Chains A and B, each alone.
Chain A
Amino acid sequence: MTELRYLAPDTLDEAVGAFAKAGSAARILAGGTDLLVQMRSGVLKPGVIVDIKKIPEMTAIEQTADGGFRIGAAVSGMALAEHGKFGKVWPGVLEAVNLIGSKQVQGRASAGGNLCNGSPAGDSVPAMVAAGAVVTVQGPNGRRDMKVEDVPAGPGRTNLKPGEILVSFALPPRPPGSSDAYLRMIPRTEMDIAVVGVGVSLTIKDGTVTSARVGLGAVAPTVLLVEDAARALIGSKLDDAALAKAAAACSAACRPIDDKRGTIAYRTKVAGVLLRRTAAIAAQRATQKN
């Protein structure tokens, strides 16, 4: 292995400075569950590793004054699960994060890493998209916010600019009657990569959907926000016609790969099936709460 330098700065400014200075030779280390595998297999030979876990903002989970949440980019799935309140407000986001890998992997792997790894099949991403999460990134030119759905650029690539580091996810406050869910299709019962993943977030008032967001994973080069599916649900009572229209919108959005784990036809069909099931779980959770 080529000479490697490890840096673990205490502040974000230091991390941004070191990361930008090292240029393309640098890699960010959060949970490391993707990075170390890529290093081991020889896909990556970084010259500098910037470990961001000593920066308090990166590992914090806080409820904001407006009732939303701010989740540091390096918060592990296990830490999120151990938080007393997060999973009650955003159960779909939590279940998505905790479908990533094994318990061992969840002890380290973060939603920030899952997003920055750029896999179209990253489980937390469709759920974060459905949640309407916004990420804060910081780079040599300062801080900016991006919608989660705008971060992936293609398999393994993001729209972060050179030197920018993902800092945190902001999840909005939820009106009463809101909840979310995430489901994925995999050929075995655990520890697999999504063949299709669907995140749905709903607000329901007097039986009618007043707002909805749908995130769709593993069926296109990036995770998708499916606005047509959300539009089909909004204003409905989740009746068959609305669900059929939303399912058709999800299938129509698919531009999947064809591989041994799922053919194009299979992934396209399952996207619609999973939309129905995920919406049903989100709706049940949303109405249970009131």
Chain B
Amino acid sequence: MAKVHVTTSINGEPMEFLCEPSDTMLDALRGTLNLTGSKEGCASGDCGACSITLDDRLVCSCLMLAVESEGHEIRTIEGMAQGDRLHPLQQKFLEMAALQCGICTSGMLVASDALLKKNPDPSEEEVRFWLAGNLCRCTGYDKIVRAVMETAAEMRAQ
């Protein structure tokens, strides 16, 4: 079967890859491109572990075909830190222990980052609603929500 050639941009870098027409973006990221930060939880759009942004909009990479990234801008958890310098959300998640097993964490971070770019001063309720599509089996969410709120406050102060 003929593979499809895709030209896209991932974390600001021009990228070309080959994929099957039925491959999801998550398949391409984790398999072909070896960007394994995005996790596969449910593969049906329910858990948010595979969250990425497509042209700055938050999406589940399991719910898009890899071929659909042609000509678009993809950002993943791998693009969040600047070299060795963690993004303030990553730093705060560590400091406040806003993670346990870690499977949901990259999706939580990508989703939280998308929220703060859109709304630098969210209420707790807004954070909870925004992250409703990111499921976690271990943390109970409170530490995550607090870390996002605190990061937002610090980023606003800067």
Contacts and interface: CB of A to CB of B under 8 A. Distances in A.
Interface of A: 1, 3-6, 8, 29, 31-33, 36-37, 39-41, 49, 51, 53, 76, 78-79, 101-105, 107-108, 189-191
B63 A103 contact: no
A6 B58 contact: no
Interface string B106-136: 0000010011000000000000011011100
Contacts of A1: 22
Which of A36, A37, A104, A190 is the most central at the interface, judged by chain B CB atoms within 10 Å of its CB?
A: A104
Given A4-B22, A40-B43, A32 B133 contact: no
A76 B67 CA distance: 18
Interface string B1-42: 100100000000000000011101000000000000000000
A190 B48 CA distance: 14
Nearest to A36: B63
A20 B113 CA distance: 42
Contacts of A32: 63-65, 68
B45 A103 contact: no
B98 interface: no
28 contacts: A6-B4, A8-B67, A32-B64, A32-B68, A33-B60, A36-B24, A37-B44, A37-B45, A37-B63, A49-B21, A51-B67, A53-B68, A78-B57, A102-B45, A102-B48, A102-B132, A102-B133, A103-B58, A103-B115, A103-B130, A104-B58, A104-B59, A105-B45, A107-B54, A108-B59, A108-B64, A191-B132, A191-B133
B111 A103 contact: yes
A49 B22 CA distance: 9
B89 to A, nearest CB: 16
Contacts of B64: 32, 36, 108
B150 interface: no
B44 A40 contact: yes
A206 to B, nearest CB: 37
Given A37-B45, A39-B22, A101-B45, A6 B60 contact: no
Given A40-B43, A103-B111, A190-B132, A6 B65 contact: yes
B84 to A, nearest CB: 29
Contacts of B105: none
5 residue pairs, one from A and one from B, having the closest CB atoms: A102-B133, A6-B21, A107-B57, A107-B59, A190-B132
A100 to B, nearest CB: 11
B70 interface: yes
A268 B58 CA distance: 36
A190 B131 CA distance: 10
A76 B64 CA distance: 13
Given A36-B64, A37-B63, A105-B45, A76 B133 contact: no
A39 B48 CA distance: 19
Contacts of B59: 104, 107-108
Interface in B50-89: 51, 54, 57-60, 62-65, 67-68, 70
